[in-house]
């Protein structure tokens, strides 16, 4: 951006006051930038520094930065010196703790003239007041450079994101993701390497089978090597990547092809370095983490099937076992993942992924001997449950380790094995969510009950404090008596907040759960209750008098009413009851206030049904042929607006909350990738509304989180993770 002084200078204030300012501000993106952020970042850093250059004729002039188009809300100011400007006194805020989108504007002034016009700057960011609002999920890789000891660059597979974490301040900034990047879309980036100048990130994407490059300044992503770019054998499942010192070649391990590729980063051409047909020695089966020798002539490779560390000669592809169950002593490797090698090339450090032995091993490269550096029995500090990537730090006296189970980063002291939590994405205390699905609010709206559907040992019902995010088990495999959950899904609670009713698809049971003791009672199942048989209970809705629960059956594609007093089941709607299009997969449903109709979402047909309870007749309210707006892609949760004229629907594939006008079926995104601030929804599953109808509470099975959504703005805020 260029600041120029034009016209004549008038020293007489009485004359100057009657004419417009002679100062002007012209936009030029190449001259304005954030010093400590990339443009359009999502960040928890509240003190962005704005800098600009090219003002040699303006020394002494003052530039004032504003956050509004009227230049009435000043956020920072400084003088131009030696043609340079740096504004470092900016402080961002959020009055309601939601993410805030900031655009910046400027005026230039001096002692001789009126301030210039209010001019928009080519700088924007989204401020997240809490670093944990920029949650991380599926932490399989990160990049650490000892020349920047305060910085970690983290790959988030689920969110297809690159996040910068400042280890000194605790702030986090989103550098690139599906929403903010331009060019080629990232789907499942699994590993990362940086160019020598640190201006570009190279990724392997295990979903698209590509090597990609993202310009970290412009956030433009392009394909470097794929089936459509570059010659040579195709990738099958590229998972790990490392660059040579010149940044001209990438070495990529591939599970499916059982190979390590050399990729020319200029042409995208691929060459097999080693595979079962290239080079001698034990054939690779599941190559994982790779590291280059300091002289760049060889590679070290982890193989998950061989449970081994191998040395690979790059020129020949020959492989040599360095350590496995028959080579070297110490704990046997069972599921190894990450790898790093010290600069003296004497020791390799690997992460052991197996749940019973999770931790860090050191391998003597001369003997193959394995030594436990840190695990649940070695070293103090919080345990690491699912270590993925690893890097040396602090003069090679410590290790950084990513833990995918806790979405956390640890520092490990190599000499003692002691572990220090560097940061975590958990919000609230208690066991983290694994796959939160069904949700309902308590009457006072201070808490929520959430059903977690992941892993049988973790199946169950949890209480969530909406202020702190703390999670407490209410009824699980270890809490409460009665038949165990098998695959619980959706939930409703009574008005007194003493009982919950949960649909369980696996055990084909409608459970009643005592919210004080966690005791589980079967209300409807093949062996409990009578009447119309059920096969796969998926969702439920309860009438206001709490005498009847309506349950959906995903196998029979039917809606059944259960009398809570007698347990008798009556068919309400299905192929044997009512007219209209058949429901294929009733995933969630809600009663209208008059209790005459049910609204049912079907992710197989991608539509919203209206079911007349008296007749069982079914009508499609909204689908690709009914109503306008974005089509459903996988609707899974539904609630009605306070006045009953609209439905709010969670759609997993749209990654959005969709508003549907019930009178005409028109659809609009209420909150999603293109609507609202805050971390985007990844895989919204269940939702419920507050009594005022202005906020939705959404479970996200990919982010393992509970999100609050402002329905008027679409803004999102993480409450528990």
Q: Report the DSSP pairing between strands 370-375 and 220-225.
A: unpaired
Name the pLDDT band for 114 (thresholds 50, 70, 90): confident
- Which among 280, 301, 327 is the end of a domain? 327
Whether 297 contacts 315, CB under 8 Å: yes
Write the DSSP string, 534-558: -S-EEEEEE-TTSSEEEEEETTTTE
Write the DSSP string, 578-624: S-SSPPS---EEEE-TTSSEEEEEETTTTEEEEEETTT--EEEEEBT
Is pLDDT above 60 for 553? yes
- Among 158-172, 402-416, 548-562, which stretch is predicted with the lowest mean pLDDT? 158-172
Nearest alpha carbon to residue 603 among 496, 492, 686 = 686
| pLDDT for position 577 | 96
Whether residue 122 is contained in a domain is answered as yes
The CATH number assigned to the domain holding 442 equals 2.120.10.30
| pLDDT for position 22 | 66
Residues 105 and 193 in one domain: no
List C-alpha distances in Å: 139 to 52, 190, 402, 419, 601: 36, 9, 6, 18, 33
CB contact set of 496 (below 8 Å; sequence gap of 6+): none
Bridge partners of 573, per DSSP, are 559
Is pLDDT above 60 for 412? yes
Residues 119 and 257 in one domain: no
Residues 320 and 188 in one domain: yes
Residues 191 and 96 in one domain: no
Name the pLDDT band for 457 (thresholds 50, 70, 90): low
The CATH number assigned to the domain holding 17 equals 2.60.40
Q: Comparing 415 with 167, which gets the higher pLDDT? A: 415
Name the pLDDT band for 145 (thresholds 50, 70, 90): confident
Name the pLDDT band for 39 (thresholds 50, 70, 90): confident
User: Helix/strand/coil (H, E, C) string of 668-680?
Assistant: EEEEECCECCCCC
| pLDDT for position 618 | 98
Q: pLDDT tens-digit profile of 232-272?
A: 999 999 999 999 999 999 999 999 999 999 999 999 999 99
| pLDDT for position 8 | 40
Q: pLDDT tens-digit profile of 362-380?
A: 999 999 999 999 999 999 9
| pLDDT for position 525 | 86
Is pLDDT above 90 for 88? yes
3-class SS of residue 254? strand
Is pLDDT above 80 for 551? yes
Name the pLDDT band for 174 (thresholds 50, 70, 90): confident
| pLDDT for position 360 | 96
- Among 182-191, 281-290, 383-392, 621-630, which stretch is predicted with the lowest mean pLDDT? 182-191
Is pLDDT above 60 for 1? no
Residues 301 and 437 in one domain: no
The whole-number average pLDDT for the span 542-561 is 95
The mean of the pLDDT values for the chain is: 90
The whole-number average pLDDT for the span 157-181 is 80
Residues 121 and 188 in one domain: no
Residues 210 and 321 in one domain: yes
Residue entry with tokens 């119309």: 532
DSSP state of 574: B
Record the tokens describing residue 371, joined without a space: 């030594």
| pLDDT for position 28 | 79
The whole-number average pLDDT for the span 119-141 is 83
Q: pLDDT tens-digit profile of 55-81?
A: 888 888 999 999 999 999 999 999 999
Is pLDDT above 60 for 516? yes
CB contact set of 132 (below 8 Å; sequence gap of 6+): 424, 425, 426, 427, 718, 721
3-class SS of residue 31? helix
Q: Report the DSSP pairing between strands 298-303 and 287-292.
A: antiparallel
Whether residue 193 is contained in a domain is answered as yes
The secondary structure of the chain in percent helix, strand, coil, rounded to multiples of 5, reads 0, 50, 50
Q: Find how far residue 361's CA is from the centre of its chain.
A: 29
Whether residue 88 is contained in a domain is answered as yes
Domain with 87, as residue range(s), is 2-127
Bridge partners of 699, per DSSP, are 706
Residues 123 and 186 in one domain: no
Radius of gyration of the chain (CA): 29
Whether residue 691 is contained in a domain is answered as no
| pLDDT for position 282 | 96
Highest mean pLDDT range out of 40-44, 412-416, 503-507? 412-416
Is pLDDT above 50 for 5? no
CB contact set of 714 (below 8 Å; sequence gap of 6+): 657, 669, 670, 671, 672, 675, 676, 677
- For residue 14, give the H/E element and its range: helix 13-16
| pLDDT for position 18 | 38
List C-alpha distances in Å: 329 to 325, 359, 385: 8, 17, 24
- Among 98-102, 134-138, 161-165, which stretch is predicted with the lowest mean pLDDT? 134-138
562 phi, psi to nearest 5 deg: -115, 120
Whether residue 155 is contained in a domain is answered as no
Q: pLDDT tens-digit profile of 181-205?
A: 778 888 888 999 999 999 899 999 9
% of the chain surpassing 90 pLDDT: 67
Domain count, the chain: 3
3-class SS of residue 58? helix
Whether residue 233 is contained in a domain is answered as yes
- Which among 458, 492, 523 is the end of a domain? 523
3-class SS of residue 712? coil
Own/partner long-range contacts of 301-306 (Cβ < 8 Å, ≥24 apart): 301/253, 301/260, 301/274, 301/339, 302/336, 302/337, 302/338, 302/339, 302/350, 304/335, 304/336, 304/337, 306/282
Residues 195 and 309 in one domain: yes
Residues 108 and 216 in one domain: no
For residue 483, the tally of other CB atoms under 10 A from its CB is 15
Q: How many residues does the chain have?
A: 721
- Which among 327, 345, 375 is the end of a domain? 327
Whether residue 386 is contained in a domain is answered as no
Residues 106 and 219 in one domain: no
Is pLDDT above 90 for 696? yes
| pLDDT for position 4 | 37
CA dihedral of 701, 423, 359, 188, whole degrees rounded to 10:
40
The whole-number average pLDDT for the span 298-308 is 95
H and E: helices and strands count for the chain: 1, 60
Whether residue 588 is contained in a domain is answered as no
3-class SS of residue 13? helix
Residues 206 and 115 in one domain: no
């Amino acid at each position: 951006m260029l600041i120029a002084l034009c016209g004549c200078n008038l020293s007489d204030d009485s004359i100057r006051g009657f004419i417009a300012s002679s100062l002007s501000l012209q936009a030029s993106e190449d001259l304005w930038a954030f010093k400590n952020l990339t443009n359009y970042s999502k960040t928890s850093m509240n003190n962005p520094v704005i800098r600009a250059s090219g003002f040699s004729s303006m020394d002494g002039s003052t530039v004032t930065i504003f956050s509004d188009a009227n230049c009435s809300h000043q956020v920072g100011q400084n003088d131009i010196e030696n043609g340079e400007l740096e504004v470092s006194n900016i402080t961002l805020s959020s009055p309601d703790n939601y993410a805030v989108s900031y655009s910046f504007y400027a005026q230039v002034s001096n002692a001789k003239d009126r301030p210039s016009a209010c001019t928009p700057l080519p700088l924007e960011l989204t401020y997240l007041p809490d670093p944990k609002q920029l949650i991380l999920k599926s932490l399989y890789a990160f990049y650490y450079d000892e020349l920047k000891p305060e910085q970690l660059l983290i790959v988030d597979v689920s969110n297809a994101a690159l996040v910068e974490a400042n280890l000194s301040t605790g702030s986090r900034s989103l550098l690139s993701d599906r929403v903010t990047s331009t060019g080629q879309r990232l789907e499942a980036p699994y590993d990362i390497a940086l160019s020598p100048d640190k201006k570009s990130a190279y990724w392997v994407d295990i979903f698209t089978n590509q090597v990609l490059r993202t310009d970290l300044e412009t956030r433009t992503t392009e394909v470097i090597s794929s089936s459509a770019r570059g010659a040579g054998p195709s990738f099958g499942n590229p998972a790990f990547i490392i660059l040579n010192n010149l940044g001209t070649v990438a070495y990529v391990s591939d599970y499916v092809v059982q190979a390590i590729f050399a990729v020319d980063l200029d042409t995208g051409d691929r060459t097999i370095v080693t595979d079962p047909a290239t080079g001698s020695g034990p054939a690779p089966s599941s190559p994982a983490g790779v590291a280059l020798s300091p002289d760049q002539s060889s590679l070290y490779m982890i193989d998950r099937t061989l449970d081994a560390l191998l040395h690979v000669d790059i020129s020949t592809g020959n492989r040599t076992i360095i350590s496995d169950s028959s080579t070297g002593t110490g704990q046997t490797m069972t599921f190894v993942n990450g790898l790093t090698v010290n600069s003296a090339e004497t020791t390799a450090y690997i992460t052991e992924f197996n749940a019973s032995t999770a931790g860090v091993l050191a391998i003597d490269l001369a003997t193959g001997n394995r030594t436990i550096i840190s695990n649940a029995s070695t070293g103090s500090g919080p345990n690491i449950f699912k270590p993925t990537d690893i890097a040396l730090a602090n003069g090679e006296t410590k290790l950084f380790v990513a833990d995918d189970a806790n979405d956390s980063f640890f520092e490990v002291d190599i000499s003692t094995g002691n572990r220090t939590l560097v940061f975590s994405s958990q919000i609230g205390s208690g066991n983290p969510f694994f796959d939160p699905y069904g949700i309902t609010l308590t009457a006072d709206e201070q808490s929520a009950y959430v059903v977690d559907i992941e892993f049988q040992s973790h199946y169950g019902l949890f209480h969530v404090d909406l202020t702190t995010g703390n999670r407490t088990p209410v009824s699980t495999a270890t809490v409460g008596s009665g038949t165990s959950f098998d695959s619980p899904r959706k939930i409703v609670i009574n008005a007194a907040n003493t009982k919950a009713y949960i649909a369980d698809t696996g055990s084909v049971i409608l459970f009643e759960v005592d919210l004080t003791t966690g005791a589980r009672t079967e209300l409807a199942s093949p062996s409990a209750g009578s009447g119309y048989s059920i096969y796969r209970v998926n969702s439920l809705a309860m009438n206001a008098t709490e005498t009847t629960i309506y349950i959906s059956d995903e196998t029979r594609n039917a809606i059944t009413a259960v009398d809570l007093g007698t347990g008798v089941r009556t068919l309400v709607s299905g192929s044997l009851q009512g007219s209209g299009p058949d429901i294929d997969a009733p995933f969630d449903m809600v009663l209208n206030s008059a209790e005459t109709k049910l609204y049912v979402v079907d992710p197989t047909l991608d539509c919203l049904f209206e079911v007349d309870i008296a007749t069982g007749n079914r009508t499609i309210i909204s689908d690709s042929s009914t109503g306008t707006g974005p089509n459903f892609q996988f609707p899974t949760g539904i609630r009605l607006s306070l006045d009953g004229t609209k439905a709010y629907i969670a759609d997993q594939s749209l990654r959005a909350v969709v508003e549907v006008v019930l009178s005409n079926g028109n659809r609009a995104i209420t909150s999603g990738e293109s609507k609202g601030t805050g971390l985007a929804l990844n895989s919204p599953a269940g939702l419920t509304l507050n009594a005022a109808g202005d906020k939705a509470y959404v479970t996200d099975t990919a982010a393992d989180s509970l999100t609050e959504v402002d329905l008027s703005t679409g803004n999102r805020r993480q409450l528990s993770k």
